Amino acid sequence: MYFMKSTLPRIFNFMPSRLHILHLTILFSAVVTVFDGVALAADPQNASETIASTSSQSQNEFEYRVQNRKDPFVPFITEKATTTTDVDMSEIVDVSGKLTGMQLFEPGQLNLVALMKSGNEDFAMVEDFTGKGYVINKGTKIGKRGVVVEIAPNKVVIEETAQTRAGQKIVTNTVMVLKKEGEE
């Protein structure tokens, strides 16, 4: 009983490594080769026919036809593709960075539901498509490029600034209007 308890963990912790698997594969192929050789040596007249038939079968099994096919060994990305000069300079470049808070929503995904005033500060309440509400004020970043620039008595103005590859800045204003009850 003592012997069983002490050797049991070592038996279950044994995991074959790649080297073990390689050795087993070589051993198995050597055994198969030896047994094939023994079978061929037992019948020397049929041995040459067996070898000839297996070699002709292996030659006729697959034939690759090149016509109308691309070379499978040509890399997908070539040096020409990485050094192209055909770049659209009017393409808008996204600034990489982690988006947080209201930057996860584009202005079109939000609905203006309330406008509030506290002292000299104006606030607005917007809700997303799930109905969850958020309070925003002047300077709040919305979306990838938008910033709240104005909160008026019946609307919120969001200014979106994009930059092209040429360095040109494109400014777009999005207006969120407070709708009266019953309006869509």
pTM: 0.51
User: What are 87-143's pLDDT values in tens digits?
Assistant: 777 787 877 778 888 888 888 899 999 999 988 899 999 999 899 999 999 999 998
The domain defined by 87-177 folds into SH3 type barrels. (2.30.30)
Please enumerate in sequence order all residues whose Cβ is within 8 A of that of 156, keeping only pairs 6 or more positions apart, or say none.
112, 115, 124, 126, 136, 148, 150, 175, 176
pLDDT in tens, 143-177: 888 999 999 989 999 999 988 888 889 999 999 99
